[in-house]
Amino acid sequence: MRLVVLSFTIAVFLGFVALLQSYGQKSDQMRKRFNQVAEAERSYSDEELKKSFTERVLKPLIRRITEGIRRSAGNRPVGQSKATMKLDKQLKASGLALSLQEFTFIKSMLILVFFVVGIALFLLLPINFLLRLVVLMVMLNIPLYGTSYFLTSQVKNRKESILRELPETMDVLMVSVEAGLGLDAAIVRQYAKNKSVVLTELNNAIREVQMGVPRRTALKEMADRCDVKELTAFVTALLQADQLGVPIKNVLDVQAERLRVERKQMIQAKAAKAPIKIMLPTVAFIFPVIFIILLGPAVVELISTLS
């Protein structure tokens, strides 16, 4: 009798567990569907509100102010002088999300701020007139040369990133093409997984092609914007392959191998320069210490003997 009661109790307990488990699974599925609907509603909400405060307010304000200043001053349109064209090319090569007008406005504001601070230091510092004038000149030169140095360093770092990422990008694209994807689809797919500098530029070029820009024009503009000779050679090879009907896989394989050889040669050249670069700190910092240790006691003894 006890065994029957125990069996019945266990059966009832297992039945309740099964019912609760099915109810829990249904509630989890309902919760997942609700989260998907909420995420979909959130993703299709106002795109303007998703943008940052800088994109929504500051950048349009800066653009309007610079345009107003230019119209009131009667300056020439952007792009007339060689210096302006060079600055615009550097901005595009740096990858900064700034237009020429925005960068010019930021530089002007920095000059104004540093000028005000320099004037305040010139009037308040308790030093002579010449030193105060030097402080004022230094404060004026900081934004002038600082912005140029920052832009140049950004361009250099981006070019180095492109040069470093090119061989791996070629390998990944070659594997994707071998798997059956076209070059455009391979670029878009790899960009969704890895937002590297090279894939970002290639994806932007593909978007321009999809919007109606000729492929040759989009790729050449990308190469001119990045200003890296290895990427320019890759774009030239792609255009020639497209014109002559050469398989893209062969082009990617050859370009990846060439880039690896060039990188190996560059590393070997840097390694060959290392002994010469090590010699300078050795002579400047290590040899004087060795001379002091070796000749110091003898000099002290000689001085004591002569005295």
Q: What is the pLDDT along the chain (307 residues), one digit of tens a residue?
A: 555 555 656 666 666 556 656 655 566 665 666 565 555 545 444 555 566 666 777 777 777 776 665 555 444 444 457 778 888 888 888 888 777 888 888 888 888 999 898 898 888 888 888 888 888 888 888 888 888 899 889 988 988 888 888 888 888 888 888 888 888 888 888 888 888 888 888 888 888 888 888 888 888 888 888 888 888 888 888 888 878 877 888 888 888 888 888 888 888 888 888 888 888 888 888 888 888 888 888 888 888 888 7
Q: Is residue 286 part of a domain?
A: no
In-domain check, residue 296? no
Q: Is residue 18 part of a domain?
A: no
Q: Are residues 147 and 236 in the same domain?
A: no
In a domain, 180, yes or no: yes
Whether residue 153 is found in the same domain as residue 168: no
pLDDT score of 73: 44
Residue 277 in any domain: the answer is no
Q: Calculate the alpha carbon distances from 297 to 283, 286, 302 in Å.
A: 21, 18, 8
Q: Which two tokens stand for residue 186?
A: 């391979």
Indicate whether 148 and 55 sit together in one domain. yes
Same domain, 148 and 191: no
Predicted confidence at residue 239, as pLDDT, reads 85
For residues 153 and 224, state if they share a domain. Answer: no
How many residues does the structure list for the chain?
307
| pLDDT of amino acid 76 | 44
Output the pLDDT for position 35: 61
Predicted confidence at residue 5, as pLDDT, reads 54
In a domain, 15, yes or no: no
- Domain-terminating residue out of 136, 159, 182: 159
Q: Are residues 113 and 181 in the same domain?
A: no
Largest CA distance in the chain: 119
Say if residue 186 is in the same domain as residue 127.
no
| 182 lies in the same domain as 147 | no
Q: 24 lies in a domain?
A: no
**Identity of the residue numbered 226:** C
At which of 125, 159, 193 does a domain end?
159
Q: Are residues 98 and 172 in the same domain?
A: no
Q: Is residue 238 part of a domain?
A: yes
Q: Are residues 123 and 92 in the same domain?
A: yes
Taking the model in full, what pTM does it have?
0.62
Please list, in sequence order, all residues whose beta carbon lies within 8 angstroms of the beta carbon of residue 140, skipping any fewer than 6 positions away: 111, 114, 115, 118
- Residue 37 and residue 212: Cα distance in Å, rounded? 34
153 shares a domain with 54? yes
Examine the domain organization and report whether 164 and 148 are in the same domain.
no
Phi, psi of 227 (to 5 degrees): 60, 45
Identify which of 213, 202, 224, 197 has the alpha carbon closest to the alpha carbon of residue 96. Answer: 197
Give Cβ neighbours of residue 114 (< 8 Å, ≥ 6 apart).
139, 140, 142, 143
State how many domains the chain has: 2
What is the span of the domain harbouring residue 169?
Answer: 160-265
Domain end among 102, 134, 159: 159
